[in-house]
Amino acid sequence: MASSSTYYSLFLLIIFFTLASIAMARSQPNQIERDILAQQEADQVMRLPGQPLVNFKQYSGYITVNESHGRALFYWFFEATNNPENKPLLLWLNGGPGCSSIGYGEAEELGPFLMQKGTPQLRFNNYSWNQVANLLFVESPVGVGFSYTNTSNDIIELGDTITAKDSYTFLVNWFGRFPQYKSYDFYISGESYAGHYVPELAEVIFDSNKNVSKEEYINFKGFMIGNALMDDDTDQTGMIDYAWDHAVISDRLYHDIKQYCDFSVENVTNQCNDALNEYFDVYNIIDMYSLYTPTCVDTNVTTRTHRTIEGAAPKLFSKFDKWHRRPAGYDPCVSDYSEVYFNRPDVQEALHANVTNIPYPWTHCSNNISFWSDAPSSVLPIIKKLIDGGLRVWVYSGDTDGRIPVTATRYTLNKLGLKISEDWTPWYTNHEQVGGWTIIYDGLTFVTVRGAGHQVPTFKPKKALQLITHFLANEKLPSKPF
């Protein structure tokens, strides 16, 4: 029979091994955690060809959004430059529909690495938005950029609804790969047709958060959209009024359009068709997206046209080829440099992109998307719903854009019928210059950016960084010089 000292020794041994196992469990991640870390390490981008040295991490790769169809969206993620654990997470979306958030948002607007003219290298963006947020770009929907599907019918079934659902699935699965960001405050921003994408995705998140498990809950706080397509009627009316008011079209053409075109309907009379063709012809010789910057005259670069997408919003204007002209940017030829760069095999390898050998080159706006199955004529009901739901909503507008001009956005926001709490007020940059004007409504802030075209961060990068900084901090822009 064992003595009491033997039992005591055995008890101590059990305690020792129990504590040791707990310590080991805490010091070593479990298999799931190891798998997640392995996925993150596989996606980490060590350094791109021609990239300047940086002290923050970046990741890129694919997130599957539909396994049975083989649908996957390509992302590129940058940690904040400093203290990423204390910064929110921001998703950026470009529009089109069918245009790349990598080609425009990251490489020409607000990302850390911008294209460098005349050399196959990147330059660091001193006004990158990852100074104030962990910054996520995704090419959406499938068929755009490096994002792909193995089911060909998916391309002809694309529309606003499936784009929002796939983007939501992307986010849920992305958080599964990067669970350390699940608790972070999350925001969305975008421009142009992202005036549809962003509120529609926001609504899916808002509605889903009411029913999902804690693991799939997204800590969503709000969104900001710029030069945004929101309402067919006012967007189209505003384009014409802005063009006349900025001496782009003649009195005679302006009155012809006003007489023959009804922007509240889709059907186009012959007289309206003729007048609109004459209107769009003007933008063969000046840049619709930035009235006062030069057009690209380099004979060695490609013409940036974009296939007409049947069914896209706005229903009337989208029937005209010239509505689908791609934006150029402050350096009007820069898009051509980035198309060369992102089609380089060494760049694609470094980005873990094009792993399925997509049978077409990477381009800013997809030429594969020619049909759009659904696009509401207005997203204002969604925006009103989300305002009422307590989300932070900002809308901004570069005031030299002729594509979705400030005039159109003002008409559109007036339709919301929101009470004005602070009327037309200048805001200032730190050089004591007026950066633009603001109107603060109950539940929505509208900001103009003085001297900026369609892609505000391209034309006015410092003002754009000031804008996103104040939005994320939920602070008014300064109304006095400082």
Q: Is 379 in contact with 199 (CB distance < 8 Å)?
A: yes
SS3 state of residue 359? coil
What lies within 8 Å, CB to CB, of 436 at 6+ separation is 399, 426, 427, 447, 448, 449, 450, 463
Q: Is 221 in contact with 186 (CB distance < 8 Å)?
A: yes
Which member of 196, 324, 364, 454 is catalytic?
454
DSSP one-letter code for 420 = E
Q: Has 454 been annotated as catalytic?
A: yes
> Rounded distance, CA 289 to CA 292, Å?
9
When computed from its CA atoms, the radius of gyration of the chain, rounded to whole angstroms, is 25
Q: Count the helix, strand and coil residues of the chain and give each as a percent rounded to the nearest 5.
A: 40, 20, 40
Which member of 192, 366, 378, 397 is catalytic?
192
Q: Measuring CA to CA, how many Å separate 120 from each of 114, 124, 302, 375? A: 11, 14, 17, 38
On the CB side of 70, how many CA atoms lie within 13 Å of its CA?
10
Q: Has 192 been annotated as catalytic?
A: yes
Other CB atoms closer than 10 Å to residue 447's CB: what's the count? 23
DSSP codes of every residue in 374-406: ---SB-HHHHHHHHHTT-EEEEEEETT-SSS-H
Residue with tokens 């992102």: 342
Q: Has 290 been annotated as catalytic?
A: no
Q: Is 230 in contact with 195 (CB distance < 8 Å)?
A: yes
Q: Measuring CA to CA, how many Å separate 482 from each of 16, 358, 429, 432, 436? A: 63, 51, 8, 6, 15
Positions annotated as catalytic residues are 192, 401, 454
